């Protein structure tokens, strides 16, 4: 995001130097937030990947109402969601 005195990271909002041309600071550029589905038998499944924690939490909140409907007919019921930060190498 362009600011008068430089750039702000689109991920965390810290101020970057005016000479930087990136939209994300090095920490945000190398990390993502993942949403994992956790099932009653202990298995895990990657559900979604987001750039910010807020986007991941919003995704989880929108899916919560569907969980009850899906679990009515599922053999392996969805127990919970986990939001984790992963570092990209």
- The DSSP secondary structure of 36-71, one letter per residue, reads EEEETTS-EEEEEEESSHHHHHHHHHHHHHHHHHHH
pLDDT of 1 over the 70 cut: no
| 4-13, 27-36, 46-55, 73-82: segment of lowest average pLDDT | 4-13
**Residue 37: which of 1, 4, 74 has the closest Cα?**
74
pLDDT of 87 over the 50 cut: yes
* 33 vs 40: CA distance, rounded Å: 23
Give the predicted TM-score (pTM) of the model: 0.72
Segment 50-79 mean pLDDT = 90
* 51 vs 25: CA distance, rounded Å: 12
Q: How many CA atoms lie within 13 A of 78 on its CB side?
A: 21
């Amino acid at each position: 995001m362009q600011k008068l005195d430089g750039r702000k990271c689109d991920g965390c909002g810290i101020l970057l130097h005016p000479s930087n041309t990136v939209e994300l600071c090095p920490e945000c550029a190398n990390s993502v937030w993942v949403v994992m589905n956790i099932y009653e038998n202990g298995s895990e499944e990657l559900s979604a990947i987001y750039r910010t924690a807020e986007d991941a939490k919003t995704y989880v909140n929108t899916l919560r109402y569907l969980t009850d409907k899906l679990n009515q007919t599922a053999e392996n019921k969805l127990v919970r969601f986990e939001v984790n930060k992963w570092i990209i190498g």
